[in-house]
Chains A and B, each alone.
Chain A
Amino acid sequence: MDKPVIYILITGTIILILLAFFIVGFIVEYRRRRKMFLAEKNEMQNKFEHEQLRSRLEIQEQTFNHISQEIHDNIGQVLSLVRLQINTLGEHLSEEKINITDDLLGKAIKDLRNLSHTLSTDRIKELGIFEFIKQSLIPLEKSGNYKIVFTADSENFTVNNESALIIYRIIQEVLNNILKHAKATEIFINLKSTQNKNHIIIRDNGKGFEKSIINTSEGIGLKNIMARAKLIGATLNVSSAQGCGTTIEIII
């Protein structure tokens, strides 16, 4: 056989052997990456479950604080008044006093009923995310310091209960940030759905901040929000500048 033919055969053989190595190498590398991919997925799942648990505990803690405050400030006061009314009744039963006592007892019963609803751990499931958010905004609005506008596209905005809990915690964290740092007077919350994606937009008219703050210790709250958003496969857009308020958009 001539040299050129031998060269062609040798080159061809080498290339085919290299291809065989490539295919085997690909399978090995694919399996290695698959293992890593599964490990990462498991880790994400664990993180998600951990975060869910943490959110539940945080909500539970807030609920207990709320109950304690309600008992101390409201029901306790009402019952004390009832006691006072009964003590001052004496021998002459005044109809007016009985009516007042009756009203006060009715109020105490109503407050207790409301409290028992608050105790339910699956309240978010019962009420749905919109109502749950709405109710959590009431105390903020009642404070008189903020004008709150909450709008929601309840027809198209749908999330599962697990994600709803995390979304609620994200909104709460953003609101905490606004209360602590923003010095805002107006807060707008909008839950909408476009092109198969859910959008949660929270905007305030506060003092805003420089984006560079996100990477410093002051930006821990925002980092928490980002970490939570990542767990439900959401992305976070933050737009803010000094004196121009802040808009946070979570896209799921």
Chain B
Amino acid sequence: MIGLIKDIFYLLIILLAALTGFSKWNILSKAFKTLSVLLLTTFLFETAALICAYVFKNNALVYNIFAPVELLFFTYIFADLFKEKVTANIIKAAGILIAFFIIIASVFVLRGRMINTLSIIIKSTFFIIVSLLKFREMLGDPEHENIVREPVFWLCTAVLLFFTINILFWSSYDYLGQTKSKIMGSFFDILYYSNLVFYTMLWYSFVVIKYNQRQHNIVNG
């Protein structure tokens, strides 16, 4: 029962983040509009995953479908955030390549029945690099008066933290799953809370978007 409440709470946080995004739709930049759509998609996938977990006791298939979708969304979001067109194009190309790899691995190797941990690690590494590059770009052009009030800062921080924890978790998942199944519960708790923190940060990135930012978006296309 507690597990179900935790899952529903988690879904509500994602839904809240998505709705906050949609409520500010008119003043959002292209990247954050895409993020709103991604959050709604995430909500739908996570709901499907929850139902599959309770009904079929296996939701790997849902996550195997969701992984490339999420990857492509985030690739598009980050490519749009970069001012340098070359970097944006490299990110797009790399994102599509990794998505292709994930699909091949999920469909032909794991047949959709198991969690594709290698793909998750590759995807996480990719987003850690991309978020660090964005941090670097922000340092090179300190145009914002208060960086902590900038949505891009919260998006990058969320991505960096979440995907780092993802790497730590999934790189030890196979070992712990096979030998120390008793402590896996605690590790899943860490993953659960890191997910909560991630979506809360994404929600906050929408909260800090000011209405006067519209002008900024229009000016910057």
Distance between B37 CB and nearest chain A CB, rounded to angstroms: 27
Distance between B38 CB and nearest chain A CB, rounded to angstroms: 23
Determine whether A122 belongs to the interface, using a CB cutoff of 8 Å to chain B: no
Determine whether A100 belongs to the interface, using a CB cutoff of 8 Å to chain B: no
Q: Which residues of B contact A93 (CB under 8 A)?
A: none
Band of interface residues on B: 20 to 34
Q: Which residues of A contact B160 (CB under 8 A)?
A: 19, 22-23
Which among A1, A19, A33 is the interface contact of B142 at CB below 8 angstroms?
A: A33
Give the total of A residues in contact with B, Cβ under 8 Å: 21
A-B contact count (CB 8 A): 42
Q: Which residues of A contact B218 (CB under 8 A)?
A: none
When the two chains form their complex, are residues B175 and A30 in contact, meaning their CB atoms are under 8 A apart?
A: no
Which among B139, B144, B168 is the interface contact of A29 at CB below 8 angstroms?
A: B139
Determine whether A138 belongs to the interface, using a CB cutoff of 8 Å to chain B: no
Residue of A nearest to B143 (CB): A37
Which among A31, A36, A37 is the interface contact of B147 at CB below 8 angstroms?
A: A31
When the two chains form their complex, are residues B168 and A15 in contact, meaning their CB atoms are under 8 A apart?
A: yes
Q: Among residues 1 to 43 in chain A, which have CB atoms less than 8 Å away from a CB atom of chain B?
A: 1-2, 4-5, 8, 11-12, 15-16, 19, 22-23, 26-27, 29-31, 33-34, 36-37
Distance between B30 CB and nearest chain A CB, rounded to angstroms: 21
Q: Which residues of B contact A22 (CB under 8 A)?
A: 160
Q: Which residues of B contact A8 (CB under 8 A)?
A: 168, 172, 176
Determine whether B125 belongs to the interface, using a CB cutoff of 8 Å to chain A: no
Q: A16 to B148, alpha carbons, bound, how many Å?
A: 20
Contact with A along B143-180 (1 / 0, CB 8 A): 11101100000000100110011001000100110001
Binding site for A on B (CB under 8 A): 135, 138-139, 142-145, 147-148, 157, 160-161, 164-165, 168, 172, 175-176, 180, 183
Q: Which 6 A-B pairs have the closest CB atoms?
A: A34-B142, A33-B142, A12-B168, A30-B147, A37-B142, A8-B172
